[in-house]
Amino acid sequence: RRVAQLHVKPRRRDSSVGPEVDLEPERLTGQELLPLAAARRQHGLDDDLHFRAQRALLCNHVPCLHRRRDLAGETLPEGFQLENYRVLRVIASGGFSFVYLAHDEKEAPVAIKEYLPATLALRTADNPSPVVPEQNLATFRYGLKCFFEEGRALAKLSHPNVVRVLNFFRANETVYLVMRYERGRTLQEHIHARGGVLRESWIRSTFATLLNGLREVHSNKLLHLDIKPGNVYLRGDGTPLLIDFG
């Protein structure tokens, strides 16, 4: 029986551009990190250093916000009423958004994706609307428009292998996408759980099904732009789902 070996390498510090440095923003300022990030990109090293540099700079512009690893203060609190939905908890986060588990008015579970790019805006504890420095406002608004248009386009799609958008709306000076809540885990988590070993027959079957969903996306003149193991979701029954469009 043939198997395919997939490796997901953990991030680590890299010293191929200059001396090895500590990449934590608590140790270096944004002004120090930005040129280092640019140098690394010129050498083909595309990591999250540029993201950290921009975040460090942002923290210097927004009062009462501190550089810290615990970002829980930025999320909407448990029990927060968002239109017809009650927020329960955060289930995912990334550089551009948070995803919450919530209940609708019928107590049915939904997933709500909130546009909140960490490099452009932050939320303070006393206000659900994000704080956007003036120099980031144009970029923030452009991303907001794209996020809203993404919701409008995805709401028209109905395919078993593409994330189902049920609703989208503006609130708290940002945009929210309400999606069907699915139980399972990402392909990346599945690969790690199996030690990087997947049967070739499983790969062929799973990706043939996934490509059916991608074909539907392309037939509607849309592009995903960020297909990777972390953005492929495996339901409890094993069927794949394209999530988190770029």
162 backbone dihedrals φ, ψ, rounded to 5°: -130, 135
- pLDDT tens-digit series, residues 152-166: 988 999 999 999 999
Q: Average pLDDT for residues 73-91, to the nearest whole number?
A: 91
**In terms of Cα–Cα distance, which of 172, 173, 179 is closest to 137?**
173
From the list 22, 70, 226, 244, the catalytic residue is 226
Check if 48 is active-site: no
Indicate the pTM of the whole model.
0.68
- pLDDT tens-digit series, residues 118-165: 889 988 888 899 989 999 999 999 999 989 988 898 899 999 999 999
39 backbone dihedrals φ, ψ, rounded to 5°: -65, -40
Check whether 57 has a pLDDT greater than 80: no
The Cα–Cα gap between 52 and 33 comes to 8
Q: Average pLDDT for residues 66-89, to the nearest whole number?
A: 74
Q: Would you state the pLDDT for residue 90? A: 94
Check whether 188 has a pLDDT greater than 60: yes
Q: Would you state the pLDDT for residue 220? A: 87
